[in-house]
Amino acid sequence: MGEAQEVQLCIRAQEANEANSQGHTNDSNQPTSRQTRKLTFWIRIGVYGFFVLSGQTVATLLGRLYYEKGGKSKWMGTLVQLVGFPVLLPYYFISAKRYKTKTNDNTTIQSKPPSFLVLASIYLVLGLIIAADCYLYSVGLLYLPVSTYSLICASQLAFNAFFSFFLNSQKFTPYIINSLVLLTTSSLLLVFQSDSEDTSQVSKGKYAIGFVCTIGASAGYGLVLSLTQFFMNRVLKKQTFSVIMDVIVFQSLVASLATLVGLFASSEWASLGKEMNEYELGKVSYVMNLTWTAISWQVFSIGVVGLILEVSSLFSNVISVLGLPLVPVLAVFFFHEKMDGIKAMAMVLAIWGFISYAYQNYLDTYSPKKENPIRNSESRASPQ
């Protein structure tokens, strides 16, 4: 009996030693695992950021090229910003499996899903606002130099902060107030751009219309971002991959249908054939321009969705604004636009405003206090 007990004690001691050695091995491998996850995280951020910057820049330049070489339809310029959403469907179905397991274990809020009527209302409201917003962007791109247009678009961060103050309890810190002042000043400086050589081809009245429409479009984009965050936090109450993709796909479907109605109601569709025949670069270039513009906007959308999933919607918007100063620089080479003192000063102020806003985002992201559980789930892939 004593021998049996000694054997059992030896076996238990051996098992304990093996468990301890295995634990030490796991502990030694843990730093390497953390470094691998951190490296993988930043690689994904880099890829998604490249999609945002390249997609937005290429789409904006191609949109201006469409008008520069004979395109005149504002509704067609609106439609190509929206109609390419079917390109997202393969990415949607392939990546849904990847995030399904990941989000099942990390969901912090369990609640009854909203009804079909509520979801349909959300997609309808967002889709109609986006359709109107894209139309305003098209008018602004038609009447303004692409560099001026892009610098004005930087004000979308200010509008995002303004609407988020009322809808999402955004706090106005000194850095955000500084960003608002700089971005507003940057846009106001461009009012004096109307007498420059870049605007000699359009009247002052059309320049003013383009300026007002671009400001309105930037405000609309800021409103859409704030409303999307509001709906996800208060109605949908989760930010999984499938939910975000549902919002993008269905609101793009509604916006595309609304734009098609505007295209046919305005009778612009009847002149598209003539427009294609008279396009300076030829029919093939006309079709390729519209096609790649649509694809570029969807590449931008993939990057935006990826950044929302990996970090947050605010970070995604900040990266989007970061790419706007690239367009004026490229416009000097591709469209031979003049980079005068006012425009250069506006660019400096816009970049300064972006840095101020981005620094506040950095402070919020790495703050030890996490008040919003949904924001915590957004930042689940952070190296922290």
Residues 6+ apart with CB under 8 A from 193: 145, 148, 199, 340, 342, 343
pLDDT at residue 95 tops 50: yes
pLDDT at residue 129 tops 90: yes
**Residues shown for the chain:** 384
pTM of the model: 0.77
Weakest mean pLDDT among 13-22, 57-66, 302-311, 334-343: 13-22
Confidence of residue 106 (pLDDT cuts 50, 70, 90): very low
Given this model, what pLDDT does residue 30 score?
61
Q: What secondary structure does DSSP assign to 73-103, as a single string?
A: -HHHHHHTTTTTGGGHHHHHHHHHHHHHHHH
Mean pLDDT of the chain: 78
Give the angle subtended at the CA of 372 by the CAs of 367 and 374, to the nearest 5°: 115
Residue 257 tokens, joined: 């249908």
Average pLDDT over residues 359-366: 73
Given this model, what pLDDT does residue 15 score?
52
Count of C-beta atoms within a 10 Å radius of residue 220? 22
Average pLDDT over residues 321-334: 79
- Check: CB of residue 307 under 8 Å from CB of residue 319: yes
User: For residue 279, how far is the Cα from the chain centroid?
Assistant: 31
Average pLDDT over residues 115-144: 92
User: What are the backbone dihedrals phi and psi of residue 196, each rounded to the nearest 5 degrees, phi first?
Assistant: -80, 175
Average pLDDT over residues 132-141: 94
Higher pLDDT, 309 or 348: 348
Could you tell me which of 244, 382, 360, 263 has the C-alpha nearest to residue 308? 244
pLDDT at residue 328 tops 50: yes
Residue 17 tokens, joined: 């030693």
Could you tell me which of 66, 87, 56, 98 has the C-alpha nearest to residue 319? 56
Most confident of 121-135, 161-175, 188-202, 294-308: 121-135
Confidence of residue 384 (pLDDT cuts 50, 70, 90): very low
- Reported as a single tens digit per residue, the pLDDT across 190-214 is 766 644 445 456 788 888 899 999 9
Q: Domain boundaries in the chain?
A: 45-96+114-365
CA separation for the pair 62, 39 (Å, rounded): 34
- Decide: helix, strand or coil at residue 121: helix
CA separation for the pair 160, 181 (Å, rounded): 14
- Check: CB of residue 116 under 8 Å from CB of residue 246: no
